[in-house]
Chains A and B, each alone.
Chain A
């Protein structure tokens, strides 16, 4: 299993006994492409933070690639994330003052030395494959269009050949034509690299691209309400 959750409970306030996330059991198999949806404030971002190892569980366990990330130290989680997990956000994915190529190099910077080899050539290959021509490689991210930024973000998330790709609302800033082009490109890329994908969105029209669709409310049995998820 790529993702395996057991008896997960999470609360931002440790003294609050009403968790905002309570997932008895949930798993995602290797190579699976999961569409996770839910209304705003339902806990999607919190779950992604937990899967990425930025937040740690209040109770229960999360295993990513059969390793309990909740038992790792902060430094170990950071390294694990750099090596095994790719993340793409809704927008503002890139560091605006760095070039497309430098944004990708930065992602590789946090991995161990063997992964740094041939970074540039692999980064250029990825950018080329995602339709970013060489003339744009050295452009600052702020000079790229939203669609181009999203493609650079995908390339960056793939540079360390992650086993798990977590994508959070990547199409909300795109028009329907760009959205379809982006989704086609994303699905082709993850299929080609055999990457497990967890795609979060509230746009259910995208479910057609996925083999599995999950509503967060179905797996989250927590009764507590929270107001700080999008903080």
Chain B
């Protein structure tokens, strides 16, 4: 009876209740949306590399090295000589290395020169390995392996020939069209920048940049390399060795530490976004409080009738609180549904344009905590109208 009374009471004031409901729904949608995308973006970045102990590049900032070597964002300031790479990769503490050579592109997609060790040792997510949808790793100089998105978007099949372009712009005037590559493998989707990468061998990179008649395609330099150690206990020791490497200035970074630094930089923006969405929510909840407070004045007759039936003032207090709770619950449910539908329809757009793999599963611990905080906040902000109803009930006399 109590819930029905609160529900019917709300329905009797459809106009004001609907506007309040919409305001709260939008603000909860914004808050939950920002929180979910923030969490998912972090998780997506964190999932991009797994099981890599160090990333080594020419002397540069940690975040810059992480961004260009793992996320294919930005460019390296300098290269590493092949001899330095070979020297470090033969260090007895090093288990494996993956050399990376960047700088070319194909129709806007980055080309990465590497070795077959990449397909063996590179992990993403929860130590997941790279798998092939079709074909196999490259073995010949002009073999190419495509990331899932490149193959899908460009509608490429095994055996198709493609030409690399110099530089990373989507339109390039310098095409290596005298050395076409043949697609020999297509990788399964990973939800990481791997999906948007064209993989060729280091010798292939060297070949397209070589002079006519050259037959030795051993690289002279590479952009960076990833390192797996035999024992993680040696991480800091090896890092220090590389950072103090005498033949040339190098930087060795721990991917996890560099990511933490990246989050620290983005934290200011994240916190600002969250603060704004909290303020929007607070404004909506105050609107709810104002709507209920105004309704108390219209409901003096109703309060008198309930008092005449034996309703204690606490009943009126709880009735107002229940009305606030019902509106907030309905708004939360609708906001969650809206968020789910938006994520469902925008998921492929976010993946294709921002390399963000956003899950439509919106029920994680953070979202549940946020919803609880929203409900408690709604209860607190509606204390004012609830207390007003309580005191009105105490003072109200039964008359016409």
> Chain A: residues with CB nearer than 8 A to chain B?
45-46, 48-49, 52, 54-55, 74-75, 78-83, 87, 89-98, 102, 105-107, 109-111, 156, 168-169, 229-231
A103 to chain B, nearest CB (A): 9
Question: Which residue of chain B lies nearest to A230 when distances are taken between CB atoms in the complex?
Answer: B399
Interface contact B312-A95, CB-CB below 8 Å: no
Give 21 A-B contacts (CB < 8 Å), ordered by A residue: A45-B400, A48-B398, A49-B397, A52-B308, A54-B307, A54-B397, A54-B398, A55-B397, A80-B310, A81-B310, A87-B308, A89-B399, A89-B400, A90-B400, A91-B400, A93-B305, A94-B305, A95-B306, A110-B309, A110-B310, A168-B399
List the B residue with the shortest CB-CB distance to A49: B397
Residues A106 and B5 in contact, CB atoms below 8 Å apart: yes
Q: Roughly how many angstroms separate A79 CA and B309 CA in the complex, as a whole number? A: 9
Instruction: List the B side residues contacting A54 at CB < 8 Å.
Output: 307-308, 396-398
- Contact of A106 with B306 at beta-carbon distance under 8 Å, contacts A78-B312, A92-B301, A97-B12 already known: yes
Q: Fill in one digit per residue for B353-384: 1 if any A CB lies within 8 Å of its CB, else 0.
A: 00000000000000000000000000000000
Listed from nearest, the 3 A-B pairs whose CB atoms lie closest are A82-B310, A97-B12, A110-B310
Given contacts A54-B396, A83-B310, A230-B400, 7 further A-B contacts (CB under 8 A): A78-B307, A78-B312, A81-B308, A81-B309, A89-B305, A106-B1, A110-B311
Interface check B248, CB cutoff 8 A: no
- Given the interface pairs A52-B398, A89-B400, A98-B8, the reply to whether A74 lies near B312 with Cβ below 8 Å is yes
B 305-330 contacts with A by CB, 8 A:
305-313, 315
Q: Complex formed: what's the CA distance from A46 to B397 in Å? A: 8
Q: CA A182 – CA B305 in complex, angstroms?
A: 21
Which residues in B have their C-beta under 8 angstroms from that of A55? 397
A48–B315 CA distance with the chains assembled, in angstroms: 22
Contacts of A110 in B (CB 8 A): 309-312, 315
A111 and B310 form a contact (CB under 8 A): yes
- B9 part of interface (Cβ distance < 8 Å): yes
B1-24 toward A: CB 8 Å interface, digit per residue (1/0)? 110110011011000000000000
The answer to the question of B302 belonging to the interface, with a C-beta cut-off of 8 Å to chain A, is yes
Task: State the CA gap A94–B301 with chains docked (Å).
Answer: 9
Closest-CB distance, B392 to chain A (whole angstroms): 13
CA distance A49 to B304 in the complex (A): 11
Contact yes or no, A97 B8, CB < 8 A: yes
Give the residues in chain A near B396, CB-CB below 8 Å: 54
Nearest chain A CB to B133 CB, angstrom units: 61
Q: How many positions in chain B have a CB within 8 Å of any CB in the partner chain?
A: 26
- Interchain CB contact under 8 A, B9 and A97: yes
What's the Cα separation between A79 and B12 when bound, in Å?
A: 28
Minimum CB–CB distance from A202 to chain B (whole Å) comes to 12
Minimum distance in angstroms from B306 CB to a CB of chain A = 7
- CB of A96 within 8 A of CB of B5, answer no
- CB nearest to B7 among chain A residues: A97
The CA of A229 and the CA of B396, in the complex, are separated in Å by 12
Q: Which residue of B lies closest to A110 (CB)?
A: B310
A173–chain B nearest beta-carbon distance, Å: 10
Enumerate chain A residues within 8 angstroms of B312, measured Cβ to Cβ. 74-75, 78, 110
Q: Which positions 16-46 of chain B face chain A at CB distance < 8 Å? A: none
Give chain A residues whose Cβ lies under 8 Å from the Cβ of B11.
97
- Please measure, in the bound complex, the distance between the C-alpha atom of A54 and the C-alpha atom of B394, giving whole angstroms: 8
CA distance A79 to B308 in the complex (A): 11
The interface centre, meaning the residue of B5, B302, B394, B398 with most chain A CB atoms within 10 A of its CB, is B398
List chain B residues, Cβ under 8 A from A98: 5, 8
Q: Are B12 and A78 in contact (CB under 8 A)?
A: no
B390 to A: closest C-beta gap in Å:
12
Inter-subunit contact A109/B2 (CB<8 Å): yes
* Contact of B309 with A169 in the complex, beta carbons under 8 Å: no
Provide the residues of chain B in CB contact with A97, threshold 8 Å: 8-9, 11-12
B9 and chain A: residue at smallest CB distance: A97
- How far, in angstroms, from A79 to B310 measured CA to CA in the complex? 6
A169 near B400 with CB under 8 A, answer: yes
A46: nearest chain-B partner, CB-CB: B397
* Closest chain A residue, CB of each to CB of B305: A95
Task: Kindly list chain A residues whose C-beta atoms are within 8 Å of the C-beta of B302.
Answer: 95
Question: Quick one: CB contact mask for B42-65 with A, threshold 8 Å, 1 for yes?
Answer: 000000000000000000000000
A101 to B385, CA, bound (A): 28
Alpha-carbon distance between A75 and B394 when the two chains are bound, in angstroms? 11
Cα A82 to Cα B310 with chains together (Å): 4
Give complex CA distance A87, B400 in Å: 12
Chain A residue nearest to B307 in the complex (CB)? A54
Known: A96-B12, A105-B1. A82 touches B309 (CB 8 A): yes
Q: Kindly provide the distance from the CB of A72 to the nearest chain B CB, expressed in whole angstroms.
A: 12
Task: Tell me which residues from 241 to 281 in chain B have a Cβ below 8 Å from any Cβ of chain A.
Answer: none
Question: Inside 8 A of B9's CB, which chain A residues have their CB?
Answer: 97
Most buried by B among A45, A75, A109, A156: A109
- The minimal Cβ–Cβ distance linking A64 to chain B, given in whole angstroms, is 13
User: Are A109 and B1 touching (Cβ within 8 A)?
Assistant: yes
* Alpha-carbon separation in the docked complex, A45 to B2 (Å): 29
Q: A45 contacts which chain B residues (CB < 8 A)?
A: 397-400
* Cα A92 to Cα B299 with chains together (Å): 12
Evaluate contact between A49 and B1: CB separation under 8 angstroms. Answer: no
- C-alpha gap A96/B394 in the complex (Å): 22
* A residues near B315, Cβ cutoff 8 Å: 110
Residues of B within 8 A of A107 (CB): 309-310
Q: How far is the CB of B12 from chain A (nearest CB, A)?
A: 3
**Neighbouring B residues of A105 by C-beta, 8 Å:** 1
In the bound complex, do residue B398 and residue A89 qualify as a contact, i.e. CB atoms below 8 Å apart?
yes
Task: Evaluate contact between B397 and A231: CB separation under 8 angstroms.
Answer: yes
Closest to A160 in B: B310
Residue in chain A with minimal CB distance to B315: A110
Cα–Cα distance between A89 and B11 once the two chains are bound (Å): 25
